[in-house]
């Protein structure tokens, strides 16, 4: 570890994840000697706070990385594709939050609670990839189960918040929700006909971010559709689980965007080689790193986005045995997608990097 600290660049500093990266660096007292806040030319001249001081946002260019030790990238896949190689070339270790490098065999894909040792391989390209938000929280929860009983198959359905799409999506959901809530005059004495016809007026509401209205709706569509009928977000969970946890595990995923602000929720079903009772699974989960077991249904205690938002831990609850197979478990997993799903995981990777490698 360098005595004088590290020069750290945040690429996409004005975005939802970039903003959070700055906060996490500050909150975890990451040894930053100098911070460089990079975004598009549109943001030049803006100032952002780091440790109580204003720092100017600068335009990202090919020459931004001279003398930079670590670059935290979260400005979109095409930006990483173009600029991460310039950063790496300049000697900066890139921790990339986009999907662009994740499946590159020369780039480690890391969840610190699951496969921290994979970081060693960063030297090949000077790039480390941060996994997809939904994959991260699922694997934090499943690592202790896999270690104890060897997972054979995972069936997961996600309920992902709009913040995962960025600030424009948060704004779109807020605007649509306000417009609909203000326009619909309905009380329970009115019957349902009026409500149906009012809602019908909003079927073709103007959208900028999503293909359909997201307010008061669930969209079974995250990222692009692929030839096999799955979305890319679904296949990311399949591919990344193989790379991070175990290539022998079969994964079937359905990913859904829901009108929540922060936090992704997941219904996770696993089939294991050996039997784990729900009590055994809960015991393992309660001791595993990065997990808060919150599972007391009698008291209505189970993971909620409201409880996980702003927190570092992944919440796990509703742990129960699958009655349809011999060795199966169901659980509900919730985590802050901007924190553990993105910014926190990236900073944790950087922490391991400075502790052990640079």
Q: Which residues are catalytic?
A: 133, 264
Supply the minimum distance, in Å, between the C-beta of residue 294 and ligand A2P: 29
10 near ligand A2P (CB under 6 A): no
Binder among 153, 167, 221, 318 for ligand A2P (CB under 6 A): 167
Binder among 8, 9, 16, 136 for ligand A2P (CB under 6 A): 16
164 near ligand A2P (CB under 6 A): no
311 — alpha (psi -120 to 50), left (phi > 0) or beta? beta
Write the CB contacts of 247 (distance below 8 Å, at least 6 apart in sequence).
Answer: none
Pairwise CA distance, residues 276 & 10, whole Å:
43
Supply the minimum distance, in Å, between the C-beta of residue 188 and ligand A2P: 38
**Residue 94 or residue 333: which is nearer to ligand A2P going by CB?**
94
Q: Which residue stretch of 13-21, 95-103, 181-189, 286-294 sits at the interface with ligand A2P (rule: CB under 6 A)?
A: 13-21
Tell me, residue by residue from 29 to 58, as one string, x for binding to ligand A2P by CB under 6 A and - for no binding: ----------xx-xx---------------
Supply the minimum distance, in Å, between the C-beta of residue 278 and ligand A2P: 38
Please count the residues of this chain forming the interface with ligand A2P, following the rule CB under 6 A: 17
Binder among 20, 21, 36, 60 for ligand A2P (CB under 6 A): 60
Tell me, residue by residue from 181 to 200, as one string, x for binding to ligand A2P by CB under 6 A and - for no binding: --------------------
Q: Which residue stretch of 72-80, 213-221, 263-271, 306-314 sits at the interface with ligand A2P (rule: CB under 6 A)?
A: 72-80
Q: What is the CA radius of gyration of the chain?
A: 21
Hey, how many other C-beta atoms are within 10 angstroms of the C-beta on 110? 28
**Residue 76 or residue 116: which is nearer to ligand A2P going by CB?**
76
21 near ligand A2P (CB under 6 A): no
**Residue 99 or residue 145: which is nearer to ligand A2P going by CB?**
99
Supply the minimum distance, in Å, between the C-beta of residue 354 and ligand A2P: 24
252 near ligand A2P (CB under 6 A): no
Question: Taking CB positions, which residue lies at the least distance from ligand A2P?
Answer: 15
**Residue 97 or residue 348: which is nearer to ligand A2P going by CB?**
97
**Residue 74 or residue 335: which is nearer to ligand A2P going by CB?**
74
15 near ligand A2P (CB under 6 A): yes
Cα 150 → chain centroid:
25
In 3D space, the residue among 237, 242, 271, 240 whose CA is nearest the CA of residue 254 turns out to be 237
18 near ligand A2P (CB under 6 A): yes
12 near ligand A2P (CB under 6 A): yes
Supply the minimum distance, in Å, between the C-beta of residue 57 and ligand A2P: 7
Binding residues for ligand A2P, per CB under 6 A? 12-16, 18, 39-40, 42-43, 60, 75-76, 79, 166-168
């Amino acid at each position: 570890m360098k005595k004088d600290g590290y020069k750290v660049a945040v690429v996409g500093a004005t975005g939802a994840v970039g903003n959070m990266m700055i906060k996490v660096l500050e909150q975890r007292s990451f040894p930053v000697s100098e911070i460089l806040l990079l975004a598009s030319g549109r943001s030049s001249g803006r100032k952002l706070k780091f440790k109580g001081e204003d720092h100017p946002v600068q335009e990202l260019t090919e020459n931004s990385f001279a003398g930079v030790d670590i670059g935290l990238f979260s400005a979109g896949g095409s930006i990483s594709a173009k600029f991460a190689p310039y950063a790496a070339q300049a000697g900066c270790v890139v921790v990339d939050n986009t999907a662009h490098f994740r499946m590159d065999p020369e780039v480690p894909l890391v969840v610190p609670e699951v496969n921290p040792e994979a970081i060693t391989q960063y030297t090949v390209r000077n790039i480390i990839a941060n996994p997809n938000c939904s994959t991260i929280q699922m694997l934090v929860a499943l690592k202790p189960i896999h270690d104890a009983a060897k997972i054979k198959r995972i069936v997961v359905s996600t309920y992902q918040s709009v913040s995962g799409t960025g600030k424009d999506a948060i704004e779109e959901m807020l605007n649509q929700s306000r417009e609909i809530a203000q326009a619909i005059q309905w009380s329970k004495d009115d019957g349902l006909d009026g409500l149906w016809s009012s809602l019908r007026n909003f079927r073709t509401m103007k959208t900028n971010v999503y293909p359909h209205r997201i307010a008061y709706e669930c969209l079974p569509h995250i990222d692009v559709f692929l030839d096999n009928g799955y979305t890319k977000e679904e296949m990311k969970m399949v591919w990344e689980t193989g790379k991070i946890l175990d290539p022998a595990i079969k994964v079937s995923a359905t990913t859904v965007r829901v009108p929540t602000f922060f936090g992704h929720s997941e219904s996770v079903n696993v089939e294991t080689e050996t039997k784990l009772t729900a009590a055994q699974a809960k015991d393992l989960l309660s001791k595993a790193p990065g997990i808060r077991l919150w599972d007391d249904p009698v008291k209505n205690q189970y993971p909620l986005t409201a409880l996980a938002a702003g927190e570092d831990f992944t919440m796990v609850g509703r742990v129960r045995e699958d009655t349809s197979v011999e060795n199966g478990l169901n659980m509900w997993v919730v985590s802050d997608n901007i924190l553990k799903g993105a910014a926190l995981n990236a900073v944790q990777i950087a922490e391991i990097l400075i502790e052990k490698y640079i």
